[in-house]
Amino acid sequence: GVSLPKPKHRRVLTIANQKGGVGKTTTAVNLAAALAIQGLSVLVVDLDPQGNASTALGAEHTSGTPSSYELLLGEIAAVDAIQKNPKNPRLMCIPATIDLAGAEIELVSMVAREGRLKTALSDSALDELDLDFVLIDCPPSLGLLTVNAMVAASEVLIPIQCEYYALEGVGQLLRNIELVQAHLNPALHVSTVILTMYDGRTKLADQVADEVRSHFGGAVLKSVIPRSVKVSEAPGYGMTVLDYDPGSRGAMSYLDAGREMAARDASERAGTEVSGA
Ligand code: ADP
Ligand code: MG
């Protein structure tokens, strides 16, 4: 039949886990790069004052650069903070600068303090970019920055490190997600779980993977991210691992994860079209 224009469908995912060092930032930038390589338009919003996602994406993020901080304050429009990746313009970033470090406290006294990122990302000027995915990289806490991310998104992606105490703190994260769901954003749900820093030589890694799969079921991506030195080296060169060493196991695993997410997305779209017909 006649092909209709693709319905606007921008998926917004918050990458959260209040535990530090589990691979949130690494997953945000490399998954974004993997989705962009497939022809999708992806925006990474760096909400961690450390600015590690900005660094890995080669984005300028010295103090004063238009960033997520000014966005939260309502001083600038989202389009004015976006930097396009020089190698792939479909891969975009709103950087975080050190200015964001004070935002957690500054936000407390502001009106609509939990919904400021959502408001900024609802700007119709963003429609021109035809974004398929927005990935929000959160700081390792459950404070107002993470709450802003959870209000702006409809999905949560949880990276879980295949280590001892992997699920420690996940219960608290899930309770926070429920609170946000109940009071601020009914659409919020855990759509995706990704296992990171997997070491196939250890029995423990498999035990953790099994435990996570039995807990989260189909939300867990089949693609698992191995522990790989290339993955940890790439940000030091201002690159994603896909640019730094495209043939490495780390790069391949993020490509797989990106394909899996895009494939799920395509089948969900098809499902929506069928049920909406
Ligand atoms: P978070 O954002 O959750 O704090 P990061 O993504 O910054 O975690 O990762 C923590 C550290 O682990 C970083 O030094 C990063 O380079 C490293 N790392 C992340 N994923 C991998 C991996 N698959 N293999 C090896 N090192 C990794
Ligand atoms: Mg991080």
User: pLDDT tens digits, residue range 245-273?
Assistant: 999 999 999 999 999 998 887 777 776 65
Does residue 36 lie within any of the structural domains?
yes
Does residue 35 lie within any of the structural domains?
yes
- How remote is the CA of residue 245 from the centroid of ligand 1, in Å? 16
For atom 14 of ligand 1, which residue has the closest CA? 232
- How remote is the CA of residue 195 from the centroid of ligand 1, in Å? 12
**Cβ count near 89 (within 10 Å):** 10
Does residue 2 lie within any of the structural domains?
no
Secondary structure (H, E, C), 122-186: CCHHHHHHCCCEEEEECCCCCCHHHHHHHHHCCEEEEEEECCCCCCCCHHHHHHHHHHHHHHCCC
Q: What is the pLDDT of residue 272?
A: 60
d(CA 158, CA 138): 11
d(CA 64, CA 164): 40
Sequence-separated (6 or more) residues with CB below 8 Å from residue 73: 103, 106, 116
Does residue 93 lie within any of the structural domains?
yes
d(CA 34, CA 26): 12
Q: How many separate domains does the chain show?
A: 1
Residue pair 154/185 in contact by the 8 Å Cβ criterion: yes
Note down pLDDT in tens along the chain; length 277 residues: 444 444 358 999 999 999 999 999 999 999 999 999 999 999 999 999 999 999 999 999 999 999 999 999 999 999 999 999 988 999 999 999 999 999 999 999 998 999 999 999 999 999 999 999 999 999 999 999 999 999 999 999 999 998 888 888 899 999 999 999 999 999 999 999 999 999 988 899 999 999 999 999 999 999 999 999 999 999 999 999 999 999 999 999 999 999 999 888 777 777 665 444 3
Q: What is the pLDDT of residue 91?
A: 98
- How remote is the CA of residue 18 from the centroid of ligand 2, in Å? 10
In ligand 1, the atom with minimum distance to the C-alpha of 48 is 2
Residue in the structure block whose two tokens are 């909400």 = 47
CATH code where residue 231 lies = 3.40.50.300
Whole-prediction pTM value? Answer: 0.94
Q: What is the pLDDT of residue 3?
A: 44
Does residue 41 lie within any of the structural domains?
yes
d(CA 266, CA 277): 16
| Residue range of the domain that includes 122 | 11-276
Residues with CB under 6 A from ligand 1: 20-26, 52, 140, 196-197, 225, 227-228, 231-232, 250
Does residue 5 lie within any of the structural domains?
no
For atom 4 of ligand 1, which residue has the closest CA? 21
Measured from the alpha carbon of residue 199, the closest ligand is 1
Residues with CB under 5 A from ligand 2 (ion): 24-25
Q: What is the pLDDT of residue 8?
A: 52
DSSP tag of 237: G
- How remote is the CA of residue 96 from the centroid of ligand 2, in Å? 11
For atom 5 of ligand 1, which residue has the closest CA? 23
Residue pair 40/13 in contact by the 8 Å Cβ criterion: no
Residue pair 33/156 in contact by the 8 Å Cβ criterion: no
| Ligand 1 probe mutation, 14, 17, 18, 26, most atoms within 8 A of CB | 26
| Ligand 1 probe mutation, 168, 228, 232, 252, most atoms within 8 A of CB | 232
Residue in the structure block whose two tokens are 């338009």 = 41
Does residue 227 lie within any of the structural domains?
yes
In ligand 1, the atom with minimum distance to the C-alpha of 19 is 3
Does residue 3 lie within any of the structural domains?
no
